[in-house]
Structure 1
Amino acid sequence: MQAQEGNFVRSNEELAELLKEAESSGVCAVDTEADSLHRYKESLCLIQFAWAENSVLIDPLAVEDLTPFVRYLEQRVVWMHGADYDMTMLRREFNTLPADVFDTQIGVRLLGLRQFGLANLVSHYFGVELSKSSQKADWGKRPLSAKMIEYALNDVRYLLPMSEMIVKELHEAGRHAWFIESCEAAKAKVLERPEDRDDPWRLQGSGRLDRGGLHYLQVLWAWRDEEAKRWDRPTFMVATNKQLIEWAAVLSGGSKIDLPHHYRPDRRKRFEAMLAEAALVKKNDYPQRIRGVRRRRDKEFDDRLEDLLKRRNQVAESLGIEGSVIASRAMLEGLAGDEENALDGFMEWQKECLSIPS
């Protein structure tokens, strides 16, 4: 198979032929597409793959055994853009990651670019405007439209030539070592992240709820999850996280909520049954509130934090990069509060920029 742009690899045999052609290349680019906006359970639906001057699509819904591709990646330098999501998908699907994953987004942020989406970078480096029309497409459907195929190929088509430009600029700026360390840290973060949480119902913003509110949030979350599973749609299409937290607060206060008008009678019936069952739970069995670590906030803390922020911002301005790339406010608050392990979140290059001893 002479791999030309636009090839769609759909079988084990085609994959073997593709990898044979790409064998001599030590560097490649990868992107992934999933159906998280359209299905209850997210699935890997497409892998975009580029090497040398070629770019192809691999169909994980059709190829029965992707193990040879995974082994190929393990022995290559792999470039991605915004790699956290793609690494998460690959780890979830194959329980492994390539040894070396470099992220163009990390690179350009270290160079000081403020607009670092892929389309922004392709425009910046190549003067090409990419279409965003398929960003929310259903990648689980087959066949893919010509527009979707073009969109998908563009996600990897420019990565390798762009990576060469970015690496050259990083070396010229004396920041290539920062880039390597940052990419290694990003990969480690994905590998260390737990796949499942014991309490996924504790949504962002739930900390302000009382124990009654937490109880209702827990049962609302379970109800929503079951409804989404029945419907085979993402949970946000049943109710958003914001709605769940608002409903939990209302129910905890003893009031009733008005369900959306589009809810079918059977969904409303299951909702009412859930509430009736939730009302039988004793208050002593409600979930406990989780008390976060409270930082000692006094004048000394405020002064130290102000000094750290000022130092960070001065360094960032001199380097022409965003302050948050050097250190987030939360990281600096940990230092200001002299918290245990406060330095653990810092990379060596960040410590050097802020003159923080290791």
Structure 2
Amino acid sequence: MKLITTTDELAAFCKPLADTEFITVDTEFMRERTYWPKLCLAQVAGPEDAAAIDALADGIDLAPLDELMANPKVLKVFHAARQDLEIFHLRLNQVPGPLFDTQVAAMVCGHGEAASYESLATKLAKAKIDKSSRFTDWSRRPLSERQITYALSDVTHLRVVYEKLKRQLDKSGRFSWIAEEMAVLNDPATYRGDPELAWRRLKPRGSSPRLLAILKEVAAWRERTAQRIDIPRQRLLRDEQLLEIASHAPKTVEELAMTRGLGRGFAEGWQGRELIEAVDRARALPESELPARERPAEQIRAPGAVVDLLRTLLRLKAEQAGVAGRLVANADELDRIAAGKRDVPALKGWRREVFGADAVDLIEGRLALALSGEHAKLIPIPADAEAEVEA
């Protein structure tokens, strides 16, 4: 068990890792009372050594860790990396790379739709994870021996998981299959919350351009303010309050104070003043600058029987290829293919080889699905048989 609490210890630990092929990384953080995730503990393991780094230790400077994470020569291995990467993106103002996500790789290697770390550690590393410390308060000090042991297990067994998945990918030649999923994790936009777009996830009771303009302004105000004072957006102002303000467009403190659950103290304070200013800005916008609700997604009329056949085909082909079906095609793509759409990711690249080509042949009558015992199988339909059917 190794817990690092000083800058010198951290520098000594990170220095040799700069020359390793890969490191495994995990974090423990809290964000129940803050807008931004609060890093409490960072766990890092090299091929031989591992340590838990106390990010809350008095006087510690995490610069050696930041430098290691930004080192382009060292592969950073995570499991389900999205939230961990958000923390490092905030610290570094860049996405640490290069990256490898074992959850993504596990889907390509046939270990299920969203394999948990525990299941992979059990299956590939023959390890049993003690989950009792998972939901403890990682901001409290001192950390217990059980907490540190649990935290380190998230990176020590990950080394074995990574090495075995890498060998499977090397053997199958499927490294390129995970590139598309990894591209999302490597994109800095994945971790940026644009205040100007915050209104789009809300569902107003109306759709008039003026109402949407007010909603956009007050939602952006809430997002910027929550970020600035570092509190959860819902603690600053709940969604239903935001929608009510956009709907009634209050002009005065008295009108704002009538918002359910808001309170006169809030309305009379700086928050109330800024909210009314936001409403006034939206009210002053010319008609040409008012936002419009995005058009609803195209209504796909997919024959249910065809979708069912494609779903069965997807399951069959995914099992044969040893890859998670969700990585090959999602429900929306099946609907689009069944409706005759062909500009679909599942019909391109490696997905076409695994599933897409057969999906088109099935729809166009060149393949049939049949049962063989308890299993489905594909039966090619000769061209002359197609002609007879058409006749």
Q: Confirm or deny a common fold (TM above 0.5).
A: yes
Of residues 67, 78, 85, the one that matches 1:87 is 85
Q: Which residue of 1 aligns with 2:137?
A: 137
Q: Which residue of 2 aligns with 1:187?
A: 182
Of residues 8, 31, 44, the one that matches 2:4 is 8
Q: Deviations over 1:108-133 (max 9, x none)?
A: 33323356222343344535142254
Q: Distance in 1 between matches of 2:113 and 2:122?
A: 13
Q: Distance in 1 between matches of 2:334 and 2:347?
A: 10
CA distance 1:347–1:96, shift in 2 (3 Å): farther
Moved more, 145-154 or 279-288: 279-288
Q: Distance in 1 between matches of 2:308 and 2:233?
A: 41
Of residues 295, 300, 318, the one that matches 1:297 is 300
CA distance 1:240–1:326, shift in 2 (3 Å): farther
**TM-score, normalised relative to structure 1:** 0.73
Of residues 323, 326, 330, the one that matches 1:324 is 326
Which amino acid counterpart does residue 314 of structure 1 have in structure 2?
A: L
RMSD: 4.1
Q: Which residue of 1 aligns with 2:261?
A: 259
Q: Which residue of 1 aligns with 2:111?
A: 112
Say yes or no: does 1:128 pair with 2:131: no
Q: Which residue of 2 aligns with 1:199?
A: 196
Greater RCO, 1 or 2 (C-alpha within 8 Å, sep 6+): 1
CA distance 1:144–1:293, shift in 2 (3 Å): same
Give the deviation of 1:267 after TM superposition.
2.4
Q: Deviations over 1:267-310 (max 9, x none)?
A: 243465566556652585684223236426346x8787666545
Q: Distance in 1 between matches of 2:260 and 2:185?
A: 40
CA distance 1:229–1:223, shift in 2 (3 Å): same
How many pairs are equivalent?
339
Computing the radius of gyration from Cα coordinates, the structure with the larger value is 2
Q: How does 1:175-254 map to 2 (within 5 A)?
A: 176-178=172-174, 180-194=175-189, 195-197=192-194, 199-206=196-203, 209-211=206-208, 212-222=210-220, 224-225=222-223, 228=226, 232-241=230-239, 243=240, 247=244, 251=248
Query: Is the Cα contact below 8 Å between 2:104 and 2:181 reproduced in 1?
Result: no
Query: Is the Cα contact below 8 Å between 2:337 and 2:344 reproduced in 1?
Result: yes
Q: Distance in 1 between matches of 2:272 and 2:178?
A: 49
* Structure 2 unaligned spans of 5+: 250-254, 359-391
Which amino acid counterpart does residue 51 of structure 1 have in structure 2?
A: G
Give the deviation of 1:167 after TM superposition.
3.9
Query: Is the Cα contact below 8 Å between 1:44 and 1:93 reproduced in 2?
Result: no
Q: Which residue of 1 aligns with 2:372?
A: none
Query: Is the Cα contact below 8 Å between 2:25 and 2:45 reproduced in 1?
Result: yes
Q: Deviations over 1:121-150 (max 9, x none)?
A: 3344535142254446354x6654545433
Q: Deviations over 1:54-112 (max 9, x none)?
A: 221235562252354235x422233210123333433443224323x222212333323
Percentage of matched positions with identical amino acids: 19
Say yes or no: does 1:37 pair with 2:32: yes
Q: Deviations over 1:191-220 (max 9, x none)?
A: 334235362322424377413543443344
* Structure 1 unaligned spans of 5+: none
Q: How does 1:12-91 map to 2 (within 5 A)?
A: 13-22=8-17, 25-59=20-54, 62-63=60-61, 65-66=63-64, 68-70=67-69, 73-91=71-89
The SS at the match of 2:50 is strand
Query: Is the Cα contact below 8 Å between 2:199 and 2:220 reproduced in 1?
Result: no
The SS at the match of 1:46 is strand
Q: Which residue of 1 aligns with 2:313?
A: 311
Give the deviation of 1:29 after TM superposition.
0.5
Query: Is the Cα contact below 8 Å between 2:131 and 2:150 reproduced in 1?
Result: yes
